[in-house]
């Protein structure tokens, strides 16, 4: 019986590996790898999951966890709640990030207001995914000295259409990292690099909703479980690792997301083998009820979204968060062309957004009622999809 298993469970490395990673619920956010103080787990970008880089012979356990106690990784994992096979509740994260739970009049999560926005710079718009609002807000934050770096996704030098986490340290570099990549890119790994390698203290984190949830989890997790029995030196190190990356974040921008594709299936099998499109010919891919693939010569190829959905990562089925409910600002392109829908959620998000509008980086318009209804439809559909996945997996046990 599921009920008999439910209760307040400790969030441990062993539970994370058995209930999250091995069941296929791991979203790939990489927060466990980012926060691990001893380099025991590493990130595999192809499987988009963590793996044990230093396994104890014949064992899947963590030697550090067993010897001195640790479990920092598990306390940064949004997919691991205190009940068996349950993620952290969205309302709990609301309190950690916004200091209050969502109200009944906030069906898409805590928010201040919603509008649509577009960069006033034509070069940004032509290079961006929708209205270039994300790039322009980051540009403004750099110019105003509010951030000294941004953890984003950028093109890989090796494999075209396979994004890699990138640290951007100036507004000028932003154009290269605009647009959306529809295969997974663990941007929190760039946050780690921003802090460890560049020593940055004011970072913006851009990511899909599950990455923003990972950030929210590490931010909200109580370090009280790290006790002196582990030795003072270890306590200090473990606490620092759980908190230092997320505490350097000054702004989070979450991208609406219904799912990402498996690289091999979507790029190799579908685009290249089935449609005959060479990845290096693709300038941009967008989803607007259908898949729109823009090629270098200006040609646009449109295919049914249902065909592409066959290549969606199975782990996305467990995701209930379409609109990045724990970001300072959430951004998406639903129902729009050349504009970005913006959900301003937090005080610091509002502050940066207002700077961007008042200083002329962004032009804005009210969102239509149709737009709000569309957003709600996507939000509800994703919650329902996740619920069905959880029912299925729990009844298998």
Ligand X SMILES: Cc1cc2nc3c(=O)[nH]c(=O)nc-3n(C[C@H](O)[C@H](O)[C@H](O)COP(=O)(O)OP(=O)(O)OC[C@H]3O[C@@H](n4cnc5c(N)ncnc54)[C@H](O)[C@@H]3O)c2cc1C
Q: How far is the CB of 256 from ligand SF4 (least distance, A)?
A: 9
Residue 141 binds ligand X, judged by CB under 6 A:
no
Rounded to a whole number of angstroms, the minimum distance from the CB of residue 323 to ligand SF4 is 10
Stretch that binds ligand X, among 180-188, 347-355, 358-366, 382-390 (CB under 6 A): 180-188
Cβ 296 to ligand SF4, closest distance in Å?
Answer: 27
**152 in contact with ligand X (CB under 6 A):** yes
Member of 238, 252, 260, 346 binding ligand X (CB under 6 A): 260
- Nearer CB in complex with ligand SF4: 73/190: 73
Q: Does residue 204 bind ligand X (CB under 6 A)?
A: no
70 contact choice in ligand X, ligand SF4, none (CB below 5 to 8 Å, kind-dependent): ligand SF4
Residues 329-348 binding ligand X (CB under 6 A) are 331-334, 340
Cα pseudo-dihedral 296, 299, 304, 308, rounded to 10:
-10
Contact map string, positions 205 to 244, toward ligand X, x by CB under 6 A: -xxx------------------------------------
Residue 323 is a binding residue for ligand X (CB under 6 A): no
Q: Considering the complex, what minimum distance in angstroms separates the CB of residue 265 from ligand X?
A: 15
> Do 155 and 165 meet the contact criterion of CB atoms below 8 Å apart?
no
CB 35 within 8 A of CB 78: no
189: left (phi over 0), alpha (psi -120 to 50) or beta: alpha
> In this chain, which of 135, 221, 238, 330 binds ligand X, going by CB under 6 A?
135
CB 52 within 8 A of CB 60: yes
Residues from 39 through 98 that contact ligand X (CB under 6 A)? none
131: contact with ligand X by CB under 6 A? yes
Candidate ranges 20-28, 85-93, 104-112, 131-139; the one touching ligand X (CB under 6 A): 131-139
SS (H, E, C) the chain: CHHHHCCCCCCCHHHHHHHHHCCCCCCCCCHHHHHCCCCCEEEECCCCEEEECCCCCCCCCCHHHHHHCCCCHHHHCCCCCCCCCCCCCHHHHHHHHHCCCCCCCCCCCCCCEEEEEEECCHHHHHHCCCCCHHHHHHHHHHHCCCCCEEEEEECCCCCCCCCEEEEECCHHHHHHHCCCCCECCCCHHHHHHHHHCCCCCCEEEEECHHHHHHHHHHHHCCHHHCCHHHCHHHHHHHHHHHHHHHHCEEEEEEECCCCCECHHHHHHHHHHHHCCCCHHHEEEEEECCEEEEEECCCCEEEEEHHHHHCCECHHHHHCCCCCCCCCCEEEECCCCCCCEEEEECCHHHHHHHHHHHHCCCEEEEECCHHHHHHHHHHHHHHHHHHHHHHHHHHHHC
Work out which of 13, 142, 181, 361 binds ligand X, going by CB under 6 A: 181
- Token code pair at residue 285: 């891919």
Binding partner selected for residue 34 from ligand SF4, ligand X, none, CB under the kind-specific 5 to 8 Å limit: none
* Binding residues vs ligand SF4 (CB under 6 A): 13, 16, 20-21, 26-32, 36, 38, 40-41, 49-50, 62, 64-65, 70-73, 76-77, 79, 184, 208-210, 214, 257-260, 316, 319
Identify any residues that bridge with 294 across adjacent strands, giving them in sequence order. Answer: 284, 300
Out of 31, 76, 134, 285, the residue judged to bind ligand X by CB under 6 A: 134
Of these partners, ligand X, ligand SF4, none, which one is at the site of residue 179 (CB under 5 to 8 Å by kind)? ligand X
Per CB under 6 A, the segment of 26-34, 181-189, 219-227, 300-308 that binds ligand X is 181-189
Nearer Cβ to ligand SF4 (39/338) = 39
- Provide the minimum distance between the beta carbon of 223 and ligand SF4 in the complex, in angstroms, as a whole number: 13
12 near ligand X (CB under 6 A) = no
Query: Which distant-in-sequence residues (6+ apart) come within 8 Å of 67 by Cβ?
Result: none
Q: What does the per-residue mask of binding to ligand X show for 277-316, with x meaning CB under 6 A? A: ----------x-----------------------------
Interface residues toward ligand X, by CB under 6 A: 128-135, 152-153, 163, 177-182, 185, 187, 206-208, 255-258, 260, 287, 331-334, 340
């Amino acid at each position: 019986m599921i009920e008999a298993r439910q209760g307040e469970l400790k969030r441990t490395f062993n539970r994370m590996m058995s209930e999250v990673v091995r069941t296929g619920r791991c979203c790939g956010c990489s927060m466990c790898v980012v926060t691990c103080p001893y380099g025991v787990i590493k990130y595999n970008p192809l499987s988009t999951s963590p793996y044990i880089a230093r396994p104890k012979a014949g064992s899947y356990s963590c030697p550090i966890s067993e010897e001195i106690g640790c479990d920092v990784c598990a306390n940064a994992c949004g997919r691991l709640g205190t009940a068996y096979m349950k993620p952290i509740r969205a309302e709990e994260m609301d309190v950690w990030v916004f200091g209050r739970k969502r109200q009944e009049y906030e069906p898409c999560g805590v928010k201040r207001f919603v509008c649509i926005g577009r960069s006033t710079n034509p070069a940004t718009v032509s290079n961006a995914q929708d209205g270039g609002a994300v790039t322009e807000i980051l540009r403004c934050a750099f110019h105003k000295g509010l951030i000294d770096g941004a953890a984003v996704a950028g093109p890989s030098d090796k494999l075209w259409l396979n994004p890699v986490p990138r640290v951007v340290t100036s507004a000028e570099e932003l154009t290269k990292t605009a647009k959306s990549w529809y295969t997974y890119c663990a941007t929190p790994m760039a946050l780690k690099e921003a802090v460890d390698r560049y020593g940055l203290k004011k970072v913006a984190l851009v990511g899909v909703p599950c990455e923003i949830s990972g950030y929210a989890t590490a931010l909200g997790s109580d370090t009280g479980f790290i006790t002196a029995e582990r030795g003072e030196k270890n306590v200090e190190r473990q606490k620092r690792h759980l908190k230092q990356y997320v505490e350097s974040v000054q702004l989070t921008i979450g991208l609406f997301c219904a799912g990402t594709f498996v690289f091999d299936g979507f790029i190799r099998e579908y685009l290249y083998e089935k449609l005959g499109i060479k990845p290096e010919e693709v300038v941009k891919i967008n989803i607007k009820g259908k898949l729109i693939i823009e090629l270098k010569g200006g040609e646009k190829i449109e295919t049914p979204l249902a065909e592409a959905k066959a290549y969606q990562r199975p782990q996305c089925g467990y995701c209930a968060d379409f609109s990045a409910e724990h970001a300072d600002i959430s951004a998406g392109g639903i129902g729009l062309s050349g504009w970005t829908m913006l959900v301003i959620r937090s005080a610091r998000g509002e502050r940066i957004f207002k700077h961007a509008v008042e200083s002329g980086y962004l032009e804005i318009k009210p969102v239509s009622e149709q737009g709000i209804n569309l957003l709600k439809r996507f939000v509800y559909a994703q919650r329902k999809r996740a619920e069905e996945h959880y029912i299925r997996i729990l009844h298998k046990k």
